[in-house]
Amino acid sequence: MSETDFSADRKWALETIDQAVLNGKLLDSTRENLVRWIREPQYEKSLPGILELLKAEEFGRLNDLFWEVINFGTGGRRGEMSDFGSATINERTIAESAHGLGSYFMHTNHDQPGRAVIAHDTRNRSPEFARLTATTLAAHGFEVFFFDTYRSTPELSFAVRHLNCDVGAMISASHNAPSDNGFKAYWGSGAQVLTPHDKGIIDAVYKASEIPTIDFNVAVQEGKIKILDSSIDDDYLAEVCKLSYSDKRDIVALFTPLHGVGETNVYDVLKQLGFDGLQIFEPHRQPDGNFSNVPDHLPNPERFEVFRPTLEPAAAMGAELILASDPDADRIAICVRNGAGEYIPVTGNQAGALIVDYLLRKRKAEGTLSPSHFIVETLVTTPLIADQGRKYNVKVVDDLLVGFKYIAQSMDNLGPDKFIFGAEESLGYLAGEYCRDKDAAVAAMYLMEYAAELKADSGKTLLDQLDELYREYGFYLEGQTSKICEGSDGQLQIQKLMKAFREQPPKELAGNRFLEVRDYETHEVRDLPNNSKSADLPEPAGNLMVFKLEGDAARFRIAVRPSGTEPKIKFYYFAQADVPVADQLDATKTTVREELTRLQESLNGWIDAQLS
């Protein structure tokens, strides 16, 4: 194509885009990003594909590809993979991400490059994107350490610290669908980037024009990229195993990595510790970015569906536990066999409370607890964890926004040597000082140890111990639902719902009156139903609202926030009820569950009405 024809195509494209905006077929934000990709030479490789979509009048697809410049959410930069598009994960946006991370660090370091470490999971295109990240940083002058095969996210966090790196990157989209991938950026502490670094990186991304690069093999030959050997794996596994509190190992369990990297951390840690009754679920063992044998190809261990293929094999081997890690193995879920032989899923909140119970008991027994020791959880994690900490007279941090990076920040602010445990409701847990991100391996170790100890000491299970906690602290029940709002139109729906909750929230749901809202974006506590400010609300700052309700069966709360990593708005439900007499626990459970179900159904109806 001649330069004249090329210019003519650009002119036609810009005119077509303007007309589509006037006709309401393209968003203004789509126009802004599309125009940049058409006009600026660094995006020239994508022009034929853009022209093809414009000629086919695929305006909906163009909105999906260009409605935003994909940002850094709670889990980094994550989204659908495509050949091009500012709102998707592709060769250009990955290179921009690496460039933004590298150039922003250099800006903060007197224009000097530093040291970086790169890892990836088993997703489609993850090795390609990891190499692209490595070559981009190497071309900037960074000394780059590279895992040449898949590893877990917590090992990447460990490696940042262990190798004394300034930055790190993990190519992963965690539990998302096979269509997605992502870029998690890490700072020198080993934690994912926080403000102001996240904004600084995305600003550098947006300013990117020509991005330097170097051939991967040449960079390796010249020593600019160093391939890591297995010694770092050994060091990581040793640090996790050091945190063991028990030598009880008599437990039979089945583990599924859901086609991800969990064999490299969860399975290897448990085997190294001597859990000989553990087997791996072979149909989910092979790395597979399509998650071929996972139901619905959705490898999220929060979904009980991922366990269904394991139930029959687990029963046949007499497994007392089934464990599942997500594809990058930073989160762990379990099912526990009850007395009837059924496998009962344990929620992230319940597993977190059990691990806290285990650790506080162990540390009290060995005399390593003090009022300066602390446990950490987010605002949408069960208050049972905080109540346990207060009973043991340790410090509790329970006012954090969603995102494990905030737990990591609290660790360093309060002193990692006093850190006991951090928990998120979405199956994220950490103990120890070896890394600054959640780790499925250390949580699996504690759950297996506690299960083995309970079995050896009293013949009880983790489910039995959970009931003991309820008898001691009261019954806690949590739930979560989401409204999926995909694409550019979905963002408008999310904004509309958040506006409705903020300005005209429900007065009651299923007979439960709304009493108060704590709005972390406006920094206000407001009385309901008049929605009038009653107090200031300090940090943290984020788009999160927590509603307090008056209920007959229990004390209820509902938290509402847009997801930072997926196209959805999330709703968290919390119920807490006293158990005045131990033998009334079952009746209390039934009553509270029924009431919470009615509350969820009523809220779903209100949400649908807002969007109609």
Q: What Å distances lie between residue 151 and 87, 235, 312, CA to CA? A: 26, 14, 29
Q: What Å distances lie between residue 458 and 106, 334, 455, CA to CA? A: 58, 21, 6
Instruction: Give the integer Cα–Cα distance in Å for 308 and 303.
Output: 10
CA 339 to chain CA centroid, Å, is 33
Contacts of 297 (CB under 8 A, 6+ apart): 177, 178, 290, 291
Q: Is-contact 57 50, C-beta < 8 A? A: no
Element (H, E) at 532: strand 532-536
Q: In what order do the strands lie in the sheet with 428-430?
A: 395-400, 374-378, 419-424, 428-430
**Residue type at 525?**
V
Structure tokens at 545: 């609202």
Query: What one-character-per-residue DSSP string does 316-359 give?
Result: HHT-SEEEEE-TTSSBEEEEEE-TTS-EEEEPHHHHHHHHHHHH
**Residue type at 244?**
S
Q: Give the number of other CB atoms < 10 A from CB of residue 441.
A: 28
- Interior angle at CA 461, CA 360 and CA 240, nearest 5: 50
**Closest Cα to residue 452, out of 352, 444, 282?**
444
Place of tokens 């670094």: 197
Q: Is 426 an active-site residue?
A: no
Q: Is-contact 436 407, C-beta < 8 A? A: no
Structure tokens at 281: 């679920």
> Among 97, 174, 426, 488, which one carries the catalytic annotation?
174
Q: Is-contact 155 236, C-beta < 8 A? A: yes
**Closest Cα to residue 27, out of 491, 488, 499?**
488
Q: Is-contact 154 329, C-beta < 8 A? A: yes
Instruction: Give the integer Cα–Cα distance in Å for 187 and 199.
Output: 13
Query: What one-character-per-residue DSSP string does 75-142 give?
Result: TBEEEEB-SS-TTSBSHHHHHHHHHHHHHHHHHHTTT---EEEEEE-SSTTHHHHHHHHHHHHHHTT-
Place of tokens 């949580």: 443
Q: Compute, in degrees rounded to 10, the torsion defined by CA atoms 33, 35, 40, 43.
A: 60
Instruction: Give the integer Cα–Cα distance in Å for 2 and 4.
Output: 5
Instruction: Classify residue 518 by its DSSP letter.
Output: E
DSSP H helical ranges for 194-329? 197-207, 216-221, 231-241, 266-272, 308-317
- Annotated catalytic residues are 174
